[in-house]
Amino acid sequence: MLAFTLRRIAISIPVLLISSFVVFVLASAAGDPLDPLLARNPPPPPQTIANETERLRLDDPLLSRYWQWLTGIFQGDFGPSVNPARVIGDEIGDRFLVTLRLIALAMIVALVLAVVVGVVSAVKQYSLVDYGATFFGFLFLSMPAFWLAILLKQAGIEFNLAVGDSVIYTIGEATPNFQGSFGERLADIAGHMVLPTISLALISYAAWSRYQRASMLEVMNSDYIRLARAKGLPQRTVTVRHGLRNALIPLTTVTALDLASIISGAVVTERVFQWRGMGDFLLNAIATDDVYATMAWLLVTATVVILFNLIADLLYAVLDPRIRYA
C-alpha cells in the first residue's frame, strides 16, 4: 500500500507540471495585465510602465517566466500579483481554508443525503418515495447552481425581513472584524455557512443519489443478497450489512471524480453569497489577467484533486478486499 501511494504521488508530479504549464500558457496569452495601467488618464509615466513590466516579468520569454514561477514555488514565492500590495502566497492560505470548509461540509451533507435517498428509493423501488426522490434528483440535476443559490439567498433575506432581525446570514463567509469569544466566532461562521452549504449540497447530491440507487439496486439483485436472506437474516441486516456495504464501494470513485465539478459549483456559490474564498480569488485573478494568482489557484486546486483521488483509491482498497495494491 505504501509503495502504491508513493508511486501514485510520483505519477502525479508530471501531471501537475504539464497541466500547470498548459494553464500558464493560456493565462499568459489571455490578456495584457498592464491594460488598466495603460488606460489610465492621464497616462502614467513610461518609467512606471517599465517598472510594472519588469516586476511582472513581462519582458522575459514565456519558458523563462514559467521556470521562474516553478522555482519560486519551492521558496514559497508564488510570483508577483498585478496588485503590488498583494502577496499571493499569504492570501491563498486564508482563502483556501474558507473554501475548504464550504466544500467539505457540503460534500458530507450531500453524501449522507445521497446514500439515504439512494438506498431508500432502491429498497422501495417504484414506490411513491422512489418516484419523488427520482423527480427531485432530476430537478436538482437540471438546476443551475447559481439560480438555486440566488433563490435560497432571497429566501433568507425575506425570512430576515419577516422576522425583523438578521437571523440567517446571506452575505460573506463571516462577519468582518467580528469581536467576541471563540464560541461566538464559531457560531458566526456556522451561521454564514448554512445557505451556501445547502445550495452546494443539493446540487451535488442529485447525481450521487441516482448513482447510489442504481448501485444499490444492482447489489440487492445479486446472488449473495439472496443467500443472506436465505440464512434468515432480518431484512434490515440484509439491506445494510450486505447491501449498503457493497453498494458504497463504487460511490468512493464517483465522489472523487466529481470533486472537480464541486469545486466549480463552489466558485459559483461563493460568487452568489459574496464569500472571499478561492472562487472569488480565481474570478478576480482571471478578470484582472493576474497570471500568477491564477496559477496559485490552479496549483492548490489540482493538488487537492489529485490527493483526494489518491485517498479515494486507498479507501476503495479498504472497502473491497478483492482490490490489492502492490
Partner 1 sequence: MTAEDVLAGGRPEGAAEPVRPSDPVLEVSGLTVGFPSEDGMVQAVRGVDYSLRGGEVLGIVGESGSGKSVTSLAVMGLLPRTAKVSGSVRFRGRELIGMSEAELNKVRGRDISMIFQDPMTSLNPVYSVGYQIAEAVRAHHGVSKAAALDRAADLLELVRIPNPGQRLSAYPHELSGGMRQRVVIAIAMANDPDVIIADEPTTALDVTVQAQIMQSLQAAQAETGAAMVLITHDLGVIAGQADRVLVMYAGKPVEIGTAEDVFYTARMPYTFGLLGSLPRLDRPSERLTPIPGSPPSVVNMPPGCPFTPRCPLAIPLCDEREPELEPTTDAGHLAACHRSDELVGKSPGDVFTTGVADTEALAHFVEESEELA
Partner 2 sequence: MPEPTTTTTTPAPGAPAGGAQPGPSGRAEREFTVAERSQFQLVLRRFLQHRLAMVSLVVLVLLVLLAYVGGALWKYKFGEYTPDESEPPSWEHPFGTDSAGRDQFAQVLRGTQISLQIAVLVALFATVVGTIWGAVAGYFGGLVDTLMMRVSDLILTLPLIAVAAMLGHNFGGTWWLIALVIAGLYWAYVSRVARGVVLSLREKEFIEAARALGSSDVRIILRHLVPNALGAIIVNATILIAVAILLETALSYLGFGVTAPDTSLGLLVSEAQTALSTRPWLFYFPGLFIILIALCINFIGDGLRDALDPQQTKVRR
- Nearest distance in Å: CB 241, partner 1: 8
Q: Which of residues 171-200 bind partner 1 (CB under 8 A)?
A: none
Say how far apart CA 306 and CA 326 lie, in whole Å: 20
Helix, strand, coil % (nearest 5) of the chain?
75, 0, 25
Q: What is d(CA 19, CA 33) in angstroms, rounded to the nearest whole number?
A: 22
Site string for partner 2, 49-88 (x = CB under 8 A): ----------------------------------------
- Using CA atoms, how far residue 149 sits from 29, 49, 109, 168, 272, in Å, is 33, 41, 16, 14, 7
Give the H/E segment covering residue 315.
helix 291-319
Three cell numbers, residue 239: 439491506
Cell numbers 508513493 correspond to 6
Q: In the set 112, 245, 257, 274, which binds partner 1 (CB under 8 A)? A: 245
Site string for partner 2, 120-149 (x = CB under 8 A): -----xx-----------xx-xxxxxxx--
Q: Which is nearer to partner 1, 307 or 319 (CB)?
A: 319
24 is a contact residue toward partner 2 (CB under 8 A)? no
State the Cα–Cα distance between residues 316 and 5, nearest whole angstrom: 13
C-alpha separations of 219 from 102, 123, 284 in Å: 32, 11, 46
Residue 127 or 264 with smaller CB distance to partner 1: 127
Q: Give the one entry of partner 2, partner 1, none that residue 224 binds, where binding means its C-beta sits below a cut-off of 5 to 8 angstroms depending on kind.
A: partner 1
How many other C-beta atoms can be found within 10 angstroms of the C-beta atom of residue 111? Answer: 20
CB of 217 to partner 1, least distance (A): 12
Closer residue to partner 2 (CB): 248 or 306: 306
Angle at 62 between CA 59 and CA 65, to 5 degrees: 75
The reply on whether position 232 binds partner 1 by CB under 8 A is yes
State how far the Cα of 43 lies from the Cα of 29, in Å rounded to an integer: 24
Which one of residues 4, 23, 191, 317 is an interface residue with partner 2 (CB under 8 A)?
A: 23
User: Does the footprint of partner 2 cover residue 282 (CB under 8 A)?
Assistant: yes
Q: How many CA atoms lie within 13 A of 184 on its CB side?
A: 6
- Identify what 305 binds: partner 1, partner 2, none; CB under 5 to 8 Å per kind: partner 2
Are the beta carbons of 140 and 202 closer than 8 angstroms?
yes
Query: Which chain residues interact with partner 2 by CB under 8 A?
Result: 15, 18-19, 22-23, 26-27, 29-31, 125-126, 138-139, 141-147, 150-151, 154, 157, 214, 217, 220-221, 226, 260-261, 263-264, 267-268, 271-272, 282-283, 286-287, 294, 297-298, 301-302, 305-306
Positions in the binding site for partner 1 (CB under 8 A): 222-224, 226-235, 242, 245-246, 249, 319-322
